[in-house]
Structure 1
Amino acid sequence: MTLKNDAFPSSAAFDLISDSLSSSDAERKEAIQKGKAVLGFTLKNKEGKEDSWYIDLKDTGKVSKDVPKKVDVTLSLSDDDFGKLVSGKANAQKLFMSGKLKVKGAVTKATAVEPIFKKVQSKAKL
């Protein structure tokens, strides 16, 4: 089952992240150990529509569209900026400082996703 939403081209990254987390138990356990958070991502496309995805780095080490019971931090940004962030062409801190990335919840937990983005950067043709 794909997590990609065709109206959000960069959402293909969630499939890459999911594949990365499910590639080995050791990698998933390491991501959970380092992450210790449930991250939500709300993307807005060029038409102004929004959609959300969740990465559970607290318990399951899985990516889903289902809203978990508790989300530690939600990152909201444009589909375009998310694609740049995952592919390493944009810096989260710069996006945040310029108002292009909004963070709700435990801001310090937002960095939990960085190691995962790094693992999929080479595959992310966004």
Structure 2
Amino acid sequence: MSLKNDAFPSSAAFEAIDGALSNDAERKAAIKTGGAVFSFKLTNDKGEEEAWYLDLKESGKVGKGEAPAGKKADVTLLLTDENFGKLVAGKSKAQTLFMSGKLKIKGNVMKATKLEPILAKAKTQSKL
């Protein structure tokens, strides 16, 4: 299943994250660091919404939708496709986006801080 959605250019980052987590040692380290299920709800320039999740509680998998089957996200990040792209590329920091209202977080805000090193791995894996 492809994680990329052409209507959401930054969604290629989810494939990069998935690629980074395909390494057993990286996956275990990310689960140890993350310890939560993260949901990303992105809105593109046409106003369409799409969701992806990152399970860093158990499986270390990335998928489409708000959470793995039968689970709930611990943290949901709501932002535009453009800002997610900037976040993954390292052009914006989550804290800056949050403070300026461009990133909304539902759930455990402290867990959201654990995401930056994992997103940094995606940057090194992708061409964003």
TM-score (norm 2): 0.93
Query: 105-114 or 12-21: which moved more?
Result: 105-114
Moved more, 70-79 or 112-121: 112-121
RMSD over aligned CA atoms reads: 1.1
Partner of 1:83: 85
1-structure distance, mates of 2:112, 2:126: 20
Q: CA deviation at 1:122?
A: 3.0
For the residue of structure 2 that corresponds to 1:60, the secondary structure is: coil
The yes-or-no answer on 1:112 pairing with 2:114 is: yes
2:116 pairs with 1:93 = no
SS at match of 1:59: coil
Quote the Cα distance in structure 2 between the aligned partners of 1:113 and 1:55: 10
Q: Where do 5+ consecutive residues of structure 2 fail to align? A: none
**SS of equivalent residue, structure 2 residue 124:** coil
Contact in 2 for aligned 1:44/1:51 (Cα 8 Å): yes
Count of residue correspondences: 125
AA aligned to 2:87 is L
Contact in 2 for aligned 1:86/1:121 (Cα 8 Å): yes
Deviation (angstroms), 1:37: 0.5
Query: What's the TM-score once normalised by structure 1's chain length?
Result: 0.94
Q: Deviations over 1:51-81 (max 9, x none)?
A: 0000000000000014331110000000000
3-state SS of the aligned residue for 1:64? Answer: strand
- For residues 1-126 of structure 1, the aligned pairs below 5 Å read 1-22=1-22, 24-66=23-65, 67-68=67-68, 69-126=71-128
1:40/1:55 contact within 8 Å kept: yes
